[in-house]
Structure formats: structure tokens, C-alpha cells
Amino acid sequence: MDVFKPAEPILRCLIEAGYQAYIVGGSVRDYLLNTPINDIDIATSAKPEQVMALFPQVIPVGLEHGTVIVRDHHTSFEVTTLREETTYSDRRHPDAVHFVTDVVKDLARRDFTMNAMTLTESKELIDPFDGQSDIINKQIQAVGKANKRFNEDPLRMLRAIRFCSQLGFMIEDQTKCALLANLPLISEVSIERIQVELEKFFKGSYLPEALILPETKKLLSHLPFFNKKTAIIADLINVTLPFHRLIDVFVYLSFTHDDIILTGFYKSYRLSNVQKREGLMLLAALERYQQKESLSLIVYHLPSHLYERFSDLVARSSLDSLDLVMLKQANQALPIHSKQDMALTGNDLIQLFPERKRGEWIGEMLDRLETNVISGKLPNQREYLKEWVTWSYPIEKKSFNY
Ligand code: ATP
Ligand code: MG
């Protein structure tokens, strides 16, 4: 149980202060599945203020749910006060939270039996809904009446299919019936919550298997954007590998479907600016590759942390194969890595053409120089670049002539 070692000081501290403390959720499930665990979540009878008073490094992230993040040795633990099911009258914001002291009540509010188990400090398993059997049978089963549970929080339907994709499990029959009966409710869930689960769904190791399940296709057809373009859901059958990020799914779909534009997804899903920028850069790189632009130009304009994702998108879009090594080699062979490396600057151009008013021509000229240098047509040496400029833009000509 070494995997839980980092959490031991937190559990001990809570228990010594007179509270109950348990390891809960995904880490217990993944431990029983013998797969690497993600974050370790902790449940405690201490109230959030009491948790905050006990630990020096705390971040009150979700006080409305009773959650505090405790930092210890550069690791974060979500410490949540034991509570009963929170009702979501508007399906977005939790109503009043009821703290409890009975751990079984806390487990009863959890979504699936495999997620409703806990380990005590002495590593004893508490499993009131027989999650262990469901893990053995590889099935996802709601805790309690599935219909009621999906009604309370329709996000659980999307969580069910993301666990199909992550774990290769199937949804138990009654849970599946309830899911199929409640599909439209997913549209009432906030887009931020949907985004988190959808990303985990598309990153799952069993994504291809999950994508062909009827419940997946039906649920996707109720999600923003997919609900307007249901044809793309049928095409997802061609997906044979998990994606790196949610934005890559959108890049792939907009690249392979003429009628889908990337910004359409941006509007439907509240993506961060980083995600948006990465998406646009990946799409531009795919388009360059399709137009048979030189590899140097492609890698120059693409940040190196996106190479692997780009190579993956090239393979999925049936544009041959382009492995990471080739991309890295092309990057190493680049004569320059940014405009700052150019041997000629905007100021040099102003001095070369003193009669011209400053304007867009400077940027345009620099862009052309840059492209020629990257593709190896011009050496990055001041004299060559000067010569090329004066030859390409004769001083007497008013308009550019290239
Ligand atoms: P992962 O390994 O991807 O983090 P996880 O099961 O830990 O998976 P989280 O979203 O981190 O998923 O949630 C932690 C735990 O909280 C879950 O295991 C489950 O017990 C409970 N939980 C999370 N979301 C819900 C929900 N919508 N309804 C009921 N219980 C939930
Ligand atoms: Mg988790």
C-alpha cells in the first residue's frame, strides 16, 4: 500500500485531532484495479474550518461542497467533509450541504459502486455497496436507484461513459436503462463540468471500444456542438487511439470535416485561451502539412511541446506518418528559431528604404525574409538578406513586386 504513503501524515493528523479520516474515491478503485492511481482524495468528519486550522498549507477551493485542498510535500490532497447527497435544484449549483459523521452516508451519495469504497487509516476496506464485485465483473453500477441518481446530477451519465473509456468496463443493465431514459438532462449541466469529463472520456485507453457503444453515441448527440452535427458521431467509429487532449478532438474533427470550423467548438465549450491557441496552431500545422509545405516551416511555427500531438493528428487524419524523431530533427536543423534570430531587423529595413513611410510593408518584408531563411532559400547572413531585399523591392517601385 505504498501508493497511499503520501497521504498518511494527513490522515494521522486528522485522527490525532479526534476526527475520522479515510481515503476515498478513484484512488481506492484504481488501487483495487491494480492500475496507477491519480490524486488521493480524503474524506473526514472535520468541518472545512477545522481542516483549515489543522494544516499550514491549505487552499479553500470548494467550501460550498466542504472541500479544502491540503498541500504537503508538494502534493495536493482534496480533503472533503463527510456529507450526504447534495441536491442540485437547478442542476448547476449545489443546494445546502449536510455534513454527517457516518462514512456510509457519505459513500451512499457517490456515483458508482466502484467509487463508493473507502480505506481506513489501517487500510481496512469499507465497501457497503459491493463495489469490489463490480470491479471484478468490470461493470459500472449506480449506487442506489440509477434513475434517481442521474436525475439528481445528470453529469453522472457522462461520468459513466468516461469510465467505460478509461477502464474498459460496461455499464450494468439497469444503470444503462436509466441512462438512456435521462439523456436530454445532460444539456442542463454546466459546460465547465461537461468539459472536464469529456476530456477524460477522449483520453481513455478504451476510447475506440467506448465510442461504438450505443449509449455513448446517444449521449454525445445531446452534448453541445455534437448535437448540431450528429454526422460526426458516426465518423468517430474511425478513431482507433485515445486523444491527448479534448482540443485535439476538435482539431481532428474540423480538419477532417469541411463543414466544421474549430471556432464553433470554442463557442460551445468554454475553452481556455491556452487550449484555443494550441488548437489553432495544431490546425495550421496540419493544413501546412497537407499543402506539402516544408517540414522546416511546419516545425518553426509549432511549439515543440505540441510535436507529439501533431504527429498523432497527422496519423489519424491519414496523412502518412510523421514521427516525433523527424520533427525533432527538423527543429534542430532550423537556421533560426524566432524572428529575433534574424540577421536583418525592422530598423535595418527602415534604413534601407528611407523614403518609405513606416507601415505594414516592414512586417510583410520581414515575414518573407523569415520564410526564405527557414526554408533554406536564403542564408541568415546580413549581407545576403540585404541584397535579397534590395533586389526584390527595387527602390523606385511604389508597390511590392515579388
Ligand atoms: P479520477 O481518477 O479520474 O480522478 P475519480 O473517481 O477520482 O476519477 P473524481 O471526479 O476525482 O473522479 O471524483 C472523486 C470521487 O467523488 C469519485 O470517485 C466519486 O466517489 C465522487 N464523485 C465525483 N463526482 C461525482 C458525482 N457527480 N456524483 C457523485 N459522486 C461523485
Ligand atoms: Mg479523482
CATH number at residue 156: 1.10.110.30
Report, as an integer, the average pLDDT of 364-373: 92
Residue that is written with C-alpha cell 453522472 in the block: 156
305: Cβ contacts below 8 Å, ≥ 6 apart: none
Is residue 231 located within the same domain as residue 143?
yes
Closest ligand, as measured to the CA of 25: 1
Rounded-to-integer distance, Cα 193 and Cα 42, Å: 21
Testing ligand 1's pocket by substitution, the residue of 111, 156, 167 carrying the most ligand atoms inside 8 A of its CB is: 111
What is the per-residue pLDDT for 402? 44
User: Are 12 and 60 members of one domain?
Assistant: yes
Mean pLDDT of 150-173: 97
Task: Give the ligand 1 atom nearest the CA of 107.
Answer: 20
Please give the share of the chain, as a percent, with pLDDT higher than 70.
95
Are residues 26 and 125 located together in one domain of the fold?
yes
Ligand closest to the CA atom of residue 142: 1
| pLDDT above 80 for 96 | no
Q: Which of 62-71, 98-107, 283-292 has the lowest mean pLDDT?
A: 62-71
Provide long-range contacts, Cβ within 8 A and 24+ apart, for 300-303.
300/331, 300/334, 300/336, 300/337, 300/374
106 and 16 part of one domain: yes
The reported pLDDT for the residue numbered 33 is: 95
Q: Which comes out higher in pLDDT, residue 234 or 106?
A: 106
Residues with CB under 5 A from ligand 2 (ion): 26
DSSP 142-211: BSS-HHHHHHH-THHHHHHHHHHHHH--EE-HHHHHHHHHHGGGGGGS-HHHHHHHHHHHHH-TTHHHHH
Q: Between these two residues, 54 and 232, which has the higher pLDDT value?
A: 54
Q: Is 153 in the pocket of ligand 1 (CB under 6 A)?
A: yes
The predicted pLDDT at position 137 comes to 97
Q: How many domains does the chain have?
A: 4
Residues 207 and 287 in one domain: no
Confidence of residue 237 (pLDDT cuts 50, 70, 90): confident
- Same domain as 133, residue 6: yes
Cβ of 38 closer than 6 Å to ligand 1, yes or no, is yes
| Closest atom of ligand 1 relative to the 166 alpha carbon | 3
Q: Which residue type is seen at 104?
A: V
Higher pLDDT, 85 or 340: 340
- Binding-site residue set for CTP: 26, 29, 110, 153, 156, 159, 162
Domain-ending residue, one of 212, 242, 272: 242
Helices 173-182, 155-167: axis angle to 10 degrees equals 130
> Does residue 176 register a pLDDT over 50?
yes
Q: By residue range, what is the domain housing residue 251? A: 243-334
Q: Is there a single domain that holds both residue 171 and residue 276?
A: no
Nearest ligand to the CA atom of 156: 1
Are residues 128 and 6 part of one domain?
yes
Give 260's pLDDT tier (boundaries 50, 70, 90).
confident
CA–centroid distance, residue 283 to ligand 2 (Å): 31
Q: Which residue's CA lies nearest to atom 18 of ligand 1?
A: 25
Cβ proximity of 372 and 365 under 8 Å: no
Mean pLDDT, residues 331-356: 91
| Percent of all residues in the chain with a pLDDT value above 90, rounded to a whole number | 75
CATH of the domain at 64: 3.30.460.10
Per the model's pLDDT, the better-predicted residue between 298 and 92 turns out to be 298
Would the CB of 106 count as within 6 Å of ligand 1? Answer: no
Looking at residue 64, its pLDDT comes to 76
Distance (angstroms) between ligand 2 centre and the Cα of 40 equals 7
Last residue of a domain, one of 98, 122, 137: 137
The pLDDT value recorded for residue 398 is: 46
Same domain, 185 and 301: no
* Average pLDDT score, the chain: 92
Residue 39 is predicted with a pLDDT of: 92
Do 278 and 295 lie in a common domain? yes
Instruction: Measure Cα distances from 212 to 235, 254, 319 in Å.
Output: 10, 21, 24
Reply yes or no on whether the pLDDT at 94 is more than 70.
Answer: no
Confidence of residue 395 (pLDDT cuts 50, 70, 90): low
**Top mean-pLDDT range of 128-132, 260-264, 349-353:** 128-132
User: Does residue 160 register a pLDDT over 70?
Assistant: yes
Instruction: Give distance in angstroms: CA of 11 to centre of ligand 2.
Output: 17
Given a contact cutoff of 8 angstroms between Cβ atoms, the answer to whether 118 and 82 are in contact is no
Q: For residue 146, what are the CA distances in angstroms to 174, 175, 267?
A: 7, 5, 32
311: nearest Cα among 321, 302, 300: 321
Give residues with Cβ within 8 angstroms of 22, minimum separation 6: 11, 42, 43, 44, 103, 118, 119, 120, 121, 126
Using the 3D structure, point to which of 111, 137, 163 is the last residue of a domain.
137
Are 157 and 44 contained in the same domain? no
Looking at per-residue pLDDT, the higher value among 6 and 390 belongs to: 6
Residue pair 297/371 in contact (Cβ under 8 Å)? The answer is yes
* Contact criterion met (CB below 8 Å) for 26 and 40: no
Do 131 and 165 share a domain, yes or no?
Answer: no
The pLDDT value recorded for residue 322 is 85
- pLDDT tens per residue across span 271-329: 999 999 999 999 999 999 999 898 999 999 999 999 999 999 999 987 678 889 999 99
